[in-house]
Chains A and B, each alone.
Chain A
Amino acid sequence: MQVVILAGGLSHERDVSEKSGRRLAEALRDIGHDVVVRDTDADLLKFLADTKPDVVIPMLHGAAGEDGTLRDVLTSLDLPYVGSGPDACRVAFDKPVAKSLVAAKGINVPSGVALPHTTFRDLGADAVMKAVLNQVGLPAMVKPARGGSAQGATIVTEANQLPSALVGAFAYSEVALIEKFIEGTEVAVSVIETEDGLKVLPIVEILPDSGFYDFHHRYTAGITEFFCPARLDAAIVKTLEDAAKVIHSTLHLRDFSRSDLIVDKQGEVWFIEVNVAPGLTETSLFPQSAQASDTDLGAIFDTLIKMAVKRGK
Chain B
Amino acid sequence: MQQDGSRLDPWISRYAARASSMTASEIRSLFAVASRPEVVSLAGGMPYVQALDLDMLADGFAKMIRERGATALQYGSGQGDPFLREQILEVMAEVGISANADDVVVTTGSQMALDLVVRVFCDPGDVVLVESPSYVGALGVFRAYECEVVHVPMEEQGLNPIALEETVNRLVKEGKKIKLLYTIPSYHNPAGITQPPERRQQVLDVARRHQLAVLEDDPYGLLGFDGKVPRAMRADEPNQVLYLGSFSKTIASGLRVGWVLAPHGVREKLVLAAESAVLCPSNFSQLAVSDYLQNQPWREQIAVFRDTYKLRRDALLDTMKLLMPAGTTWTVPTGGFYSWVTLPEGIDSRAMLPRAVNSLVAYVPGTGFYVDGQGKGELRLSYCYPTPDRIVEGVRRLAGVVEQELDLLATFGPDALPHTEMPNFANTPAPNVR
Chain A residues at the B interface, C-beta cutoff of 8 Å: 8, 10-16, 18, 41, 117, 120-121, 125, 149, 151-152, 160-161, 163-164, 166-168, 170-172, 205, 207, 214-216, 218-229, 231, 282-283, 288
Contacts of A170 in B (CB 8 A): 355, 408
A186 to B233, CA, bound (A): 58
* A164/B416 in contact, CB under 8 A: yes
Partner of B5, one of A16, A120, A168, A227: A227
Provide the bound-state CA to CA distance between A161 and B411, in Å.
15
User: Whole-angstrom distance between the alpha carbons of A168 and B25 in the complex?
Assistant: 15
Q: A12-B354, A18-B32, A172-B354 are in contact. Are A117 and B411 (CB under 8 A)?
A: yes
Q: Are B12 and A223 in contact (CB under 8 A)?
A: yes
Q: CB distance A117 to B36 under 8 Å?
A: no
Q: Which residue of A12, A125, A224 is within 8 Å of B357 (Cβ)?
A: A12
Alpha-carbon gap, A218 to B411, bound state (A): 32
B33–A221 CB distance below 8 A: no
In Å, the complex CA distance between A171 and B347 comes to 12
Q: Is the CB of A151 within 8 A of B9?
A: no
B162 at the interface (CB under 8 A from A): no
A160 touches B415 (CB 8 A): yes
Binary CB contact string for chain B from 12 to 29 against chain A (1 if under 8 A, 0 otherwise):
100000000001111011
Closest 5 CB pairs of A and B: A222-B12, A15-B32, A219-B24, A222-B9, A221-B9
Q: Does B209 contact A (CB under 8 A)?
A: no
Q: A163-B413, A170-B408 are in contact. Are A222 and B26 (CB under 8 A)?
A: no
Looking at the complex, which one of B9, B25, B36, B409 makes contact with A10 (CB distance below 8 Å)?
Answer: B36
Minimum CB–CB distance from A63 to chain B (whole Å) comes to 9
- Please judge, given known A-B contacts A10-B33, A228-B6, A283-B8, whether A223 and B412 are in contact too, CB under 8 Å: no
B352 within 8 A of A: yes
Cβ-defined contact, B411 with A120, below 8 A: yes
Complex CA–CA separation, A125 to B414 (angstroms): 12
**Cβ contact within 8 Å between A163 and B8:** no
Cα A144 to Cα B417 with chains together (Å): 18
Residues of A near B26 (CB, < 8 A) are 149, 151, 214-216
B163 within 8 A of A: no
- Other-chain residue from A15, A216, A226 in contact with B23 (beta carbon distance below 8 A): A216
Name 23 A/B residue pairs within 8 A (Cβ), A-sorted: A10-B360, A14-B36, A117-B408, A125-B413, A149-B26, A151-B26, A163-B412, A164-B412, A167-B351, A167-B416, A168-B351, A215-B24, A216-B24, A220-B24, A221-B9, A222-B7, A222-B9, A222-B11, A224-B8, A225-B7, A227-B6, A283-B8, A288-B6
B300 within 8 A of A: no
Could you tell me how many residues of chain B have their Cβ less than 8 Å away from some Cβ of chain A?
43
A161 to chain B, nearest CB (A): 7
Residue from the list A117, A214, A221 in contact with B8, Cβ < 8 A: A221
Given contacts A164-B418, A223-B23, contact A171 B354 (CB under 8 A): yes
Are B24 and A205 in contact (CB-based, < 8 A)?
A: no
Q: Which of B7, B24, B354, B415 contacts A164 (CB 8 A)?
A: B415
* With A15-B32, A227-B5 as contacts: A125 and B24 at CB distance below 8 Å: no
Cβ of A225: which chain B residues have Cβ within 8 Å of it?
4-7
A214 to B26, CA, bound (A): 9
B354 to chain A, nearest CB (A): 4
Docked Cα-Cα span, A11 to B29, in Å, equals: 11
Q: Please pick, from B2, B9, B39, the residue contacting A231 in the complex, using a CB distance under 8 A.
A: B2
Judged by a CB distance under 8 angstroms, whether B173 is at the interface is no
Q: How far is the CA of A41 from the CA of B33 in the complex (A)?
A: 13
Given that A163-B413, A226-B7 are known contacts, is A215 also in contact with B408, CB under 8 Å in the complex? no
- List of A residues within 8 angstroms of B354 by Cβ: 12, 151-152, 171-172
| Bound CA span A221–B9, Å | 6
Q: Tell me which of B36, B38, B360, B408 contacts A167 (CB under 8 A).
A: B408
A204 to chain B, nearest CB (A): 9
Q: Name the interface residues of B21-68: CB closer than 8 Å to any CB of A.
A: 23-26, 28-30, 32-33, 36-39
B1 touches A (CB below 8 Å): yes
Are A12 and B30 in contact (CB-based, < 8 A)? yes
- CA A227 to CA B23, docked complex, whole Å: 22
A167→B6 contact, CB < 8 A: no
B354 and chain A: residue at smallest CB distance: A171
Q: B351: which A residues are within 8 A, CB to CB?
A: 164, 167-168, 171
- Complex: how many Å from CA A287 to CA B242? 51
B407 at the interface (CB under 8 A from A): yes
Q: Which of B29, B30, B407, B416 contacts A163 (CB 8 A)?
A: B416
CB-based contact B29/A16 at 8 Å: yes
Q: Which residues, 380 to 434 on B, are CB-close (under 8 Å) to A?
A: 407-413, 415-419
- Residue among A10, A214, A220 making CB contact with B38, cutoff 8 Å: A10
Q: Please state if A121 and B407 are interface contacts (CB–CB under 8 Å).
A: yes
Min distance, Cβ A61 to any Cβ of chain B, angstroms: 11
Bound-state Cα–Cα, A10 to B32, Å:
9
Q: How far is the CA of A13 from the CA of B25 in the complex (A)?
A: 12
Question: Which residues from chain B contact A283 at a C-beta distance below 8 Å?
Answer: 8
CA distance A32 to B323 in the complex (A): 55
Q: In the complex, what residues of B have CB within 8 A of residue A152's CB?
A: 354
Chain B: minimal CB distance from A169 (Å)? 10
Q: Chain A's nearest CB lies how many Å from the CB of B424?
A: 9
How many angstroms between the C-alpha atoms of A90 and B354 in the bound complex? Answer: 22
Which residue of chain B has its CB nearest to the CB of A225?
A: B5
Which of B32, B39, B412 has the most chain A CB atoms closer than 10 A to its own CB? B412
List, in ascending order, chain A residues with CB within 8 A of B2's CB: 227, 231
Q: Which B residues touch A222, using CB under 8 A? A: 7-9, 11-12
With most chain A CB atoms within 10 A of its CB, the pick from B36, B407, B409 is B36
> Closest CB of chain B to A280's CB: distance in Å?
13
Question: A164 touching B5 by the CB < 8 A rule?
Answer: no
Closest Cβ–Cβ distance, residue B250 to chain A (whole Å): 32
Contacting residues, chain A, for B39 (C-beta < 8 A): 10
Residues of B within 8 Å of A229, CB to CB, are 1
Q: How many angstroms between the C-alpha atoms of A110 and B4 in the bound complex?
A: 30
Interface of chain B residues 327 through 375 with chain A (CB within 8 A): 351-355, 357-358, 360
The complex places the Cα of A12 from the Cα of B29 at a distance, in Å, of 8
Q: Please give the distance in Å from B417's CB to the nearest CB on chain A.
A: 6
Q: Which residue of B lies closest to A209 (CB)?
A: B7
Excluding A121-B407, A228-B6, 19 further A-B contacts by CB distance (< 8 Å) are A10-B39, A12-B29, A121-B411, A149-B26, A151-B26, A151-B354, A163-B412, A164-B418, A164-B419, A167-B418, A168-B351, A171-B352, A171-B354, A172-B355, A215-B26, A221-B12, A223-B7, A225-B6, A228-B5
**Chain A residues whose C-beta falls within 8 Å of the C-beta of B413 in the assembled complex:** 125, 163
Chain B residue at minimum C-beta to C-beta distance from A118: B411
B413 nearest CB neighbor, chain A only: A163
Q: How far is the CB of A151 from chain B (nearest CB, A)?
A: 6
Q: Which A residues are in CB contact (< 8 Å) with B409?
A: 167
